[in-house]
Structure 1
């Protein structure tokens, strides 16, 4: 797939991701009464519905990303796998794909703002900083470090079953969202944060850059370092190749021995022939 197509795919899937994630509040509010999960004593009903929907969306978008040739809706994922040497992305391709994700996020945020019914518009919005700036940067750094390391382990070193890989990522995502909710939202996705910051005209603020870009990117780089330190790079050494090479060496060695013995035989036969002629 060409770079232009990748950029379009990234923008499209990020658009859909931001749109769908922003609609979870309204959808859970509508679904909760149908499932009998609203009312007194059932305050966590909507939360369970949201978690179920998030799980479904991660499964769906993982499949969609593969179908679109490796499209991604999170800049930290592109940076992590590029820096780890797993993907073919370099600074140039990242310079094209990341802005495409940002544009897709802005489009998703603007679109959901237009189509969302008025009674649910108060539920819309991106991650918000709820702590001092320094604490927010540290929180996003740690959260992104953790999710990136888990995702890299699950995809590159985890179980072979793709369903299990996705389940691990879902569990980690939900746990970190709960853990970071009181700090930064959380985001762990600079493109999503940028889309909503653009809508509220906060995308050029130092707070947005420091918390939702610098923090996650620092966490991503440290996660790649930790992954390489703990798991030794992107792929484990393959024993079959060594066996094949040893077999090849044995074959070449036996070939050399055969050639030497043949040469000795030839020399001895020449000596015999010479003696016969001399006699």
Structure 2
């Protein structure tokens, strides 16, 4: 099996697993552990946040174990923009469709198995505010992720800890308006199950805005970071 085919298959599997993981966390808190009867219960929310961070650690480990498997189109897009055309085309034509298909099938199996699971994140504000919210959240998390992979010295635990807390914080900030998803494939799975995946609201808020924010974050990061590195290299050359 080729390296690219292997990555596409792992993207499909991890995307299906990701849509399950959020539901499993909620079921563990409210049904199995019975920490709180209502979602606004403080103790239940604290336990759920702890399990959510642990869940992100598991998926970070799986991403390393699969040598690059991903469940979020924005993750592969942010790296593809820095690569050549062939890598970008491979990402858009193969990896992202695999993630979307994995999410759709994962949600379908989830609803068939647990009918009372709900119908996923929804837009709870106007389309322009929703697009701005998802765009800002995406810009923030992509910038943080680029910083962690480029500048921060530290091991797997420290980088994953910072990334997980950042994602959780941003998710909470946007949860009341858009669900704070920052993952077009996952939202697509739920929207497809509801039948509203081709609406203007879904496409603009959960696809166009995050993709534009990702492009802007990558461009801004390159603009601010690369000159610093070049200056350091130049100074070393002069000193030699």
Residue of structure 2 equivalent to 1:219: 213
* Aligned-residue RMSD, C-alpha: 2.4
8 Å Cα contact 2:107-2:193 kept in structure 1: yes
Q: Which has the larger radius of gyration?
A: 1
Q: d(CA) in 2 for partners of 1:28 and 1:88? A: 44
Q: State the distance in 2 between where 1:227 and 1:29 align.
A: 40
For normalisation by structure 2, the TM-score amounts to 0.89
Partner of 1:187: 181
The answer to whether the Cα contact below 8 Å between 1:19 and 1:111 also exists between their aligned partners in 2 is: no
Where does structure 2 lack aligned partners over 5 or more consecutive residues?
Answer: none
Q: Quick one: distance in 1 between partners of 2:211 and 2:146?
A: 15
**Displacement of 1:45:** 1.5
Q: What secondary structure is seen at the aligned counterpart in 1 of 2:87?
A: coil
Q: CA deviation at 1:30?
A: 2.5
The answer to whether the 8 A contact 2:171-2:179 is kept is yes
Closer/same/farther in 2, CA of residues 67 and 205 from structure 1, 3 Å limit: same
Deviates more, 1:23-32 or 1:206-215: 23-32
Contact 1:22 1:125 in 2 (8 A): no
Distance in 2, matches of 1:168 and 1:88, equals 32
After superposition, where does 1:166-177 map in structure 2 within 5 Å?
Answer: 166-177=160-171
Once the 2 structures are TM-superposed, how far is the Cα of residue 6 of structure 1 from its aligned partner? Answer: 1.3
1:86 Cα offset (Å): 9.6
Aligned twin of 2:20: 19
Give the conservation status (yes or no) of the 8 Å contact 1:137–1:211.
Answer: yes
TM-score by length of 1: 0.77
1:24 Cα deviation after fit: 2.2
Aligned twin of 2:87:
89
Match of 1:129 among 99, 107, 123: 123
**Consecutive unaligned residues in structure 1, runs of 5 or more:** 247-279
Alignment-derived partner of residue 267 in structure 1: none
Compute the displacement of 1:39 (Å): 6.5
